[in-house]
């Protein structure tokens, strides 16, 4: 398999180079869009070592069914109108958590646009957090 890839790259250097450039631009765009992706273990380290705020952007019902300890709940559709509530956290890391990772990037982009520099998003959202049997708080 590797021999075939190497042969293709050798025979089509412009095509392979274009693919590599586009892949790098896509990765850069995704990073800038909503902040870096962090694993559940990296999120635990961010909270424990850097006092990161966990911003849970799921709806209140999902949040009440189980969330990360000390998480702040602002539904993703309301973040723009409630961004003033986050001003006091502007200098510390903020990790955005959603159900499965689909809304965290958009919220991260809103926060970065508002001047928040230390924004990250939990890869896989609460689904991944629960899959790794990490603790949740109900209520």
Distance in angstroms (rounded) separating the CA atoms of residues 96 and 55 = 5
Q: For residue 5, is it within any domain?
A: yes
Distance in angstroms (rounded) separating the CA atoms of residues 46 and 38 = 9
Give the containing element (helix H, strand E) for 37: strand 36-38
The residues that bridge with 35 in the sheet, in sequence order, are: none
Q: Do 26 and 62 sit in the same domain of this protein?
A: no
Compare 103 and 43 and report the one with higher pLDDT.
43
Q: Quick check: helix, strand or coil at residue 129?
A: helix
Average pLDDT of span 43-59: 96
Domain around 56: 35-131
Q: For residue 138, is it within any domain?
A: no
Q: For residue 95, is it within any domain?
A: yes
- Of 98, 111, 119, 126, the catalytic one is 98
The residues that bridge with 67 in the sheet, in sequence order, are: 137
Q: How confident is the model at residue 33 (pLDDT cuts 50, 70, 90)?
A: low
Q: Do 65 and 85 sit in the same domain of this protein?
A: yes
Provide the pLDDT for residue 96: 96
Is-catalytic flag, 98?
Answer: yes
Q: Do 77 and 57 sit in the same domain of this protein?
A: yes
pTM: 0.77
CATH number at 64 reads 3.40.250.10
Average pLDDT of span 39-54: 96
């Amino acid at each position: 398999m590797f021999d075939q890839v190497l042969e293709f790259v050798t025979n089509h250097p412009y095509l392979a180079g274009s693919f590599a450039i586009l892949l790098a631009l896509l990765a850069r765009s995704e990073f800038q869009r909503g902040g870096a992706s962090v694993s559940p273990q990296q999120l635990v380290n961010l909270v424990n070592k850097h006092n990161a705020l966990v911003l849970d952007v799921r709806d209140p019902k999902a949040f009440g069914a189980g969330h990360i300890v000390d998480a702040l709940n602002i539904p993703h559709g309301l973040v723009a109108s409630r961004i003033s509530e986050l001003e006091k956290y502007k200098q510390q890391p903020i990790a955005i958590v959603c159900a499965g990772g689909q809304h965290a990037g958009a919220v991260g982009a809103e926060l970065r646009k508002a001047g928040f520099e230390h924004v990250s998003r939990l890869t896989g959202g609460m689904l991944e957090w629960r899959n790794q049997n990490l603790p949740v708080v109900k209520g």
